[in-house]
Amino acid sequence: MADLRTAGAREPGSSRIRAVLGPTNTGKTHLAIERLCAHSSGAIGFPLRLLAREVYDRVCAIKGPNQVALITGEERIEPKDARWLLCTAEAMPVVQDKLAFVAIDEAQLSADRERGHVFTDRLLHARGREETMILGSSTLEPMVKALIPRVEVETRPRFSTLRHAGARKLSRVPPRSAIAAFSAEQVYATAEMLRRFRGGAAVVMGALSPQTRNAQVELYQSGEVDYLVATDAIGMGLNLDVEHVAFAGLSKFDGLRQRRLTTAEMAQIAGRAGRHQKDGTFGTLAGSNHASEFTDEEVYAIEEHRFPPLTKLFWREPEPRFDSLGSLIVDLEAPPRTPELAAAPEAIDLAVLKLLADEQQVVDSVRTVGMVRRFWEVCRLPDFRSQGPEMHARFVSRLWQDLRHGELGADYMAQQIAQLDVTSGDIDTLQGRIAAIRTWAYIAQRPDWVLARDEMAARARAVEARLSDALHGKLTERFINRRTAVLMRKLGTDAGLLSVRLEDEEVLVEGEHIGSLRGFTFQVDPDARLSDRKLLLAAAERHLPGLLERRAAELVVAVHEGSAGLQLEAGTVTLDGERIARLAPGRSPLAPQLQAERTLDMVPAPARKDLLAALEQWLAASLQPLEPLRRIAEASRSSEAGPELRALLIALVDSGGMVERAGSGLERLDKDQRVRLSRLAVKVGTLDIFAPAMLRPDAVRLWRALSPERNAPDDVQSTADSMPPALTAWRGPPPRGYRAVGKQLIRLDLAEKLLREAHQVRGATGRRPFVLDSAKAISMSLTQASYERLLRLAGFQPIGARVLTPEMHGPIAPTRWRWRPARPQTEPVSAPAVPRNSAFAALSDLVR
């Protein structure tokens, strides 16, 4: 039977048979599509469902969807009047002379261990009525000439040049590159490294569904990422804009053993580099062992497209007998009688058949020719899950128990499909579900296996589409950092073309968030990985100066308009809570120098100069509330004031315009010096000497900001915002501008007001005891005890006992008071002590 299947005995006389051979990028597939569309009908068989779908879309655009069919194991789109068929090789109908044109793509796969016998059968027997075209590598030429005597061999040269570029580190692989890996682990590891170095990569593997592979390829083709990591499936006709192919390794597991790639396999993958007239390069990834480097002979063979010709093609009997399982197995294992053909290695369908043929239950169910034929069709179910013969045989056995009695019910199929309609899980889980749904999609496509075939097939395709979308999302999430990819692609000479904008405080480059800008301080996105921070900072250095220049110009305008939003806090100037300048010591604490923070270094020089000038102007205007203190400081430097007054003025300046009267040296001032003091708007009170203007909230707040190291702790800074009349339950030293009276604090000017009124009452009564009204003190939030404490500090003394009444919530003042001023000191009073850390310490020493 084998010699009857050779092609030469059955060649139709009128059919033209062409073998178009050559390396990749020779336009073979494009030529086949043109010839298909030029005929009244035709079919092309492809090695991958992905390629069949791609060409199907192209032919539909030319002929219309009602005239074109897609036939694969898992998907069948067959319009009633379809005349042009796009198929996988396994699903391709082998009917001679029924179609005007027939082509078989990648025919060199006839030497493949698993699928070679299928391609050999199509090579020998798939014929068009008018024209037959065989597409493949030049290595196929001797076999084609030997098996098909009347064949016309046409060798096509490659459109572009392919050159070896040597080994490169992964971080040095140029953009628009494809990295070929040969295991899922290697693919994942490479893609993860590219995510860190270059923002990510698209991933293409045989285990992915066609829809997922298409979506990943589109990420690369659209330019969203510049790298593609793929298994050797990339060599099977994927049309990509690849400029360089880097091999992550040069060996693979072929199902039996780990072996080195043949030069033809290397060339098939490397040939993806370069499209049309654009040259391409190939190489390896540096850092691997010596076995992962090309030899000189391999480089020469790939560049010159010179490979050892094929000497054998795998063959298996395409029309076995179905008398019994035994005769079926014998025919499938029968050797060919043609020297150019070799018996195909045991494929998984034959392995499953032989395993199940040893089970008596199965043998008993397969008795007639029809049952043997049907059982063989079940055994040929593809192992999409890659479980191996034994596990796959168990599934086939269960499926056969249902199919032996007829067709699968719609409810059963719907249940099996629904169980896989779950889009959660990691990448491996989703891949497993896609493999499973592809199995059920294949089953649903069989015309005599499933009731409600069209409905079940549609459900299976819908589930596969949803799972594919979920897997695409997971791959994108794991292996692509869109932000990094955008920035890496545009950090070259065209960086100035990037779209950079500011939304609120968020900095967006090409629509990707890289960080926030508060004031003039850029902060990298806190959610960014540590490996991405350097890239984001580099992007900021390139693209922020323009934003900062605009912000500086806007701030200068706002300063002139009085709406800058700047704050003076603890010796620094802040914008949006971020420091932009600090105050350095100047001629005095009231005349500090402005020094820009390093956050302004990225502002271009001209804009930075204008900004600093505006800040100087803003600072001068902001310090206006301290003008009374500045006049006191100027007076302290005048020699006409005299040493006693100068010492007092220095103490006033150093303490923010307020000192205690006791120990101030006031009694040593003469009349003229007291007049000078009053002209400086300094109030000499009963207990304190102070400048009333320095008790205003803005003045106190400014003094704290200029001299944070000489003020009260942070927990009292809020008092400067409003300067209330009194503070209750205070702990620690009193804040500036307040005096302690028992458990409360009272503002200095209000304390003086209460004491002045008390002295007015005393003056009206002479030396007799008098009564004081505490209503005004209570209106200032003072308690009776605090008011009494204030009076005693000023020299007032109570007469008689305190009285408590049930209606009162606390003690009331004695009904009578008297005043006993402190006796004058007999010893000279020294000048008031000036803290050694004062800015005026040296001047104080000079005065003394």
Which element (helix H / strand E) includes 726?
strand 726-728
Cβ(179)–Cβ(228) under 8 Å?
yes
* Same domain flag for 110 and 20: yes
Domain boundary among 447, 478, 509: 478
For residue 682, pLDDT beyond 70:
yes
193-197, 446-450, 824-828: lowest mean pLDDT where? 824-828
> How many C-alpha atoms does 631 have within 13 Å on its Cβ side?
14
pLDDT in the model for residue 214:
84
What CA dihedral angle connects 75, 79, 81 and 87, to 10 degrees?
-20
For residue 13, pLDDT beyond 80:
no
Q: Tell whether the torsion through CA atoms of 240, 246, 250 and 254 is positive or negative.
A: negative
* Same domain flag for 455 and 379: yes
Q: How confident is the model at residue 671 (pLDDT cuts 50, 70, 90)?
A: confident
Q: How confident is the model at residue 530 (pLDDT cuts 50, 70, 90)?
A: low
In a domain, residue 324? The reply is: no
> How many C-alpha atoms does 344 have within 13 Å on its Cβ side?
27
Separation between Cα atoms, residue 710 and residue 703, nearest integer Å = 10
* DSSP string for residues in 443-469: HHH-TTTBTTHHHHHHHHHHHHHHHHH
For residue 261, pLDDT beyond 70:
yes
For residue 741, pLDDT beyond 50:
yes
pLDDT in the model for residue 693:
86
* Same domain flag for 471 and 407: yes
pLDDT in the model for residue 51:
86
pLDDT in the model for residue 140:
93
* Same domain flag for 44 and 132: yes
Write the DSSP symbol of residue 656: T
Paired with 69 in beta bridges are 85
Residues in the chain: 848
Cβ(838)–Cβ(654) under 8 Å?
yes
Q: Tell whether the torsion through CA atoms of 771, 776, 777 and 781 is positive or negative.
A: positive
CATH number at residue 235: 3.40.50.300
In a domain, residue 391? The reply is: yes
Owning domain of residue 367? 344-478
Q: How confident is the model at residue 508 (pLDDT cuts 50, 70, 90)?
A: low
Write the DSSP symbol of residue 200: B
Q: Position of tokens 């019994």?
A: 324
Token pair for 126: 């798939």
SS (H, E, C) 539-605: HHHHHHHHHHHHHHHHHHHHHHHCCCCEEEECCEEEECCEEEEEEECCCCCCCCEEEECHHHCCCCH
* Same domain flag for 523 and 667: no
Q: What percent of the chain has pLDDT over 90?
A: 30
Domain boundary among 249, 278, 304: 304
| Total domains, the chain | 5
Q: Position of tokens 């430097």?
A: 637
* Same domain flag for 501 and 598: yes
Report, as an integer, the average pLDDT of 507-531.
Answer: 66
CA distances to 273, 284, 286, 481, 549 from 166, in Å: 14, 6, 9, 28, 45
In a domain, residue 263? The reply is: yes
Cβ(85)–Cβ(43) under 8 Å?
yes
Name residue 25's amino acid.
N
Token pair for 580: 């932009």
* Same domain flag for 132 and 191: no
pLDDT in the model for residue 46:
93
For residue 834, pLDDT beyond 50:
no
Q: Position of tokens 């192209």?
A: 58
* Same domain flag for 441 and 501: no
* Same domain flag for 464 and 520: no
Helices (H), 126-203: 141-147, 184-198
Cβ(513)–Cβ(483) under 8 Å?
yes
Whether pTM > 0.85 for this model: the answer is no
pLDDT in the model for residue 144:
95
Cβ(599)–Cβ(540) under 8 Å?
no
Greater pLDDT, 131 or 847: 131
Nearest to 264 by CA among 452, 548, 497, 22: 22
111-115, 135-139, 598-602: lowest mean pLDDT where? 598-602
Nearest to 157 by CA among 26, 266, 281: 26
In a domain, residue 10? The reply is: yes
* Same domain flag for 258 and 204: yes
pLDDT in the model for residue 238:
66
Name residue 252's amino acid.
K
In a domain, residue 426? The reply is: yes
Summarize pLDDT for 387-438 with one digit per residue, the tens: 889 999 999 999 999 998 889 999 999 999 999 999 999 888 998 999 999 9
Separation between Cα atoms, residue 575 and residue 293, nearest integer Å = 58
Cβ(178)–Cβ(244) under 8 Å?
yes
Q: Position of tokens 């490169």?
A: 168
Q: How confident is the model at residue 170 (pLDDT cuts 50, 70, 90)?
A: confident
Name residue 609's amino acid.
K
Separation between Cα atoms, residue 246 and residue 169, nearest integer Å = 10
In a domain, residue 337? The reply is: no
Paired with 747 in beta bridges are 738
115-124, 407-416, 557-566: lowest mean pLDDT where? 557-566
Report, as an integer, the average pLDDT of 217-238.
Answer: 82
Separation between Cα atoms, residue 134 and residue 59, nearest integer Å = 19
Q: Return left, alpha or beta for 27; rule: phi > 0 is left, psi -120 to 50 is alpha, else beta.
A: left
Nearest to 677 by CA among 722, 632, 629: 632
Domain boundary among 111, 134, 155: 155
Average pLDDT, the chain: 82
* Same domain flag for 642 and 696: yes
pLDDT in the model for residue 497:
39
Separation between Cα atoms, residue 439 and residue 209, nearest integer Å = 12
Which element (helix H / strand E) includes 9?
none
DSSP β-ladder status, 658-660 and 796-799? unpaired
In a domain, residue 841? The reply is: no
In a domain, residue 413? The reply is: yes
Residue 738 phi, psi dihedral angles, 5° rounding? -125, 155
Residue 462 phi, psi dihedral angles, 5° rounding? -65, -40
* Same domain flag for 46 and 180: no
Residue 668 CA to chain centroid, in angstroms?
A: 74
> How many C-alpha atoms does 722 have within 13 Å on its Cβ side?
5
Separation between Cα atoms, residue 44 and residue 65, nearest integer Å = 16
For residue 654, pLDDT beyond 80:
yes
For residue 491, pLDDT beyond 60:
no
